[in-house]
Amino acid sequence: MKLLGKVGIVSAMTGFSRVFGLVREVLMAHFFGTSTLQSAFVIAFRIPNLFRRLFGEGALGAAFIPVFAEMERVEGAQAAQRFFSRILGLLFCVLGLLVGLGILGSFIVECTTEETSRWAEAMPLMRIMLPYALLICITAIVSAVLNVHDRFAISSLTPVVLNIVWIVALLGICPFLPERGYWRIGAVCWGILLAGVLQILFQLPVLRRIGFCFRFSFVGWGASPAIRKVLLQMGPASLGIALAQINICIDGWLAFYGAPWAPAVLEYADRIIYLPLGLFGTAFATVLLPTYARQVADQHTEEMMATLEHSLKTLTVIMMPMALGLIALAEPIVALIYQRGAFTDESVRWTARAIIAYAPGLLAFSAAKTVIPIFYAFKDFKTPVYVASWCILGNFLMNLSSVLFLPEGWRHVGIAASTCVNSLVNTIILLMILKHRNLQVKLKAFGWVFLKTFGAAVLMGVSVFSVYWKGVAYIPAWLLLPSVIVVGGMLYFLLMYIIAPATLKELLADFYQRRKMRAK
């Protein structure tokens, strides 16, 4: 019940953030559409995100949380504070150097490519946003400390700061700047950099409230066993995440090679997909790592596997109708959200295709986010890396084949589909490894839940598809689409009550019991 309560908090805050994120993407679509400049921005912004995944909430965060939690429990808050300060100091020095080298490298790339090259367009944007990599990684480590203390609300709400500043830049500055050149997109980039500073400041009051100070320590790195432990554990995880993130960057470059609009289209589709994924999949992952870490520390492995099994069932019941609903209504959803200003009919069609390819991955992405933290909780960072490296190789080959052999309007679809396949295969292999280690999920019981949920979601998807396309001739899309989605949700609930009443009752009982606990 405590787990579900924490997931509820993170889901609510993340959902709030995702709504703002969707608003910002609607405005980006209005001002920049699927232009080459928007694609260049997407490519440039992926570099700071690579650093964030490596040194922030990714490898460093995964290695930092178990060590920090154990140190605070065993050695006390003062030792944990020293460790936290040293991590911040080390992060500042390493990332400061890498950001400087990245800025220098962008000048070299710009000088060695033609001025009209689409690759050269990304370099000025990347130079502005690279320092954001340092700021967001520091933000992620502060969030990790808050999460260990079950302060999930503020850390989950922090991305809202970025989205609000981004929206202010789009609405308050861009309309007054020239349309041609880098003026408008440059204003967005500077807004992102400002948001990085504000995100750190946003978390500091709560950090002080739990008894920790935000300060950098530049001494004692080598003498700290905890630092060495984190770096040793971070090494394999960094390799895995680096491979994954580099693969994402290469996918963007391949998409850019396949069509100048493709990275922008994939980003718009990704934003819609990540709305439900952030609400539930990412929320579970945020809560599960510290939960698993505590269960492993207390040697409650059976309880941990029960947590995993229940999380997988809950995510399946939630994500399945969302996946089938997105497949059924992809084009009207994209048109309603994005189609205005520079976002054309072709942009709608391209983005809808990407969403249909991405949608089945909602289940695979969510499952991966619940399984991988188990290995991190056991301080096993090598196994996920080993599995991911092979899956990433397969993903790269599939993406390369898509760019080389598919027609232009479908190349980005192959890239999206290969991402889903990669995530599914990765999750299945990790579950098989857990089974080999006598940490087995009851797959038979889960399989029945999956099949029943899939049947209910398919019936719902066919129904909403038929109702929408029959009603669109008589009812405006802005009124019809939300109505169809609400009716589809009610229909899915009814079908689950008929097909899988036990599963539905179990999920509803969890929420009911959590509400009773909160009332007490």
The pLDDT tens digits for 358-376 are 999 899 888 888 888 888 7
| More confident position, 17 or 348 | 348
Average pLDDT over residues 108-122: 76
C-alpha to C-alpha distance for 415 and 403, rounded to whole angstroms: 8
Residue 199 has pLDDT above 60, yes or no: yes
Q: Is residue 419 part of a domain?
A: yes
For position 455, what pLDDT does the model report? 93
- What percentage of the chain exceeds 90 in pLDDT? 33
Count CA atoms within 13 Å of residue 363 on its CB side: 23
| pLDDT per position as a tens digit, 131-175 | 998 998 899 889 888 888 877 778 778 888 999 999 999 999 999
Q: Is residue 254 part of a domain?
A: yes
For position 329, what pLDDT does the model report? 95
Q: Looking at 338-352, 433-447, 470-484, which range is the least confident one?
A: 433-447
For position 115, what pLDDT does the model report? 66
First to last CA, the chain: 13
Which of 392-401, 457-466, 470-479, 503-512 shows the highest mean pLDDT? 457-466
Taking alpha carbons only, the member of 486, 491, 423, 417 closest to residue 457 is 491
Residue 516 has pLDDT above 60, yes or no: no
Let me know: does 230 contact 99? Beta carbons within 8 Å.
no
Q: Looking at 34-43, 369-378, 480-489, which range is the least confident one?
A: 369-378
Q: Is residue 490 part of a domain?
A: no
Range of the domain at 97: 2-441
Q: Is residue 500 part of a domain?
A: no
Q: Is residue 6 part of a domain?
A: yes
Q: Is residue 456 part of a domain?
A: no
For position 414, what pLDDT does the model report? 93
| More confident position, 345 or 256 | 345
Give the pTM: 0.76
CA distances from 122 to 45, 96, 185, 401, 433 (A): 9, 21, 11, 25, 41
Taking alpha carbons only, the member of 430, 327, 296 closest to residue 369 is 430
∠ Cα 96 102 106 (to 5°) = 150
Average pLDDT over residues 93-112: 88
Q: Is 339 left (phi over 0), alpha (psi -120 to 50) or beta?
A: beta
C-alpha to C-alpha distance for 25 and 267, rounded to whole angstroms: 9
For position 517, what pLDDT does the model report? 45
| More confident position, 213 or 504 | 213
Domain count, the chain: 1
Which of 106-120, 225-239, 254-268 shows the highest mean pLDDT? 254-268
The two structure tokens encoding residue 404: 């080389």
With a CB cutoff of 8 Å and minimum separation 6, the contacts of 453 are 316, 317, 320, 321, 496, 500, 503
Q: Is 7 helix (H, G, I), strand (E, B) or coil?
A: helix
For position 8, what pLDDT does the model report? 61
| pLDDT per position as a tens digit, 53-82 | 666 556 677 778 878 888 888 888 888 898
Q: Is residue 221 part of a domain?
A: yes
- What percentage of the chain exceeds 70 in pLDDT? 86
Confidence of residue 520 (pLDDT cuts 50, 70, 90): very low
The phi, psi pair for 215, rounded to 5°, reads -150, 155
Which of 156-160, 286-290, 361-365, 512-516 shows the highest mean pLDDT? 361-365
The whole-chain average pLDDT of the chain stands at 84
| More confident position, 503 or 492 | 492
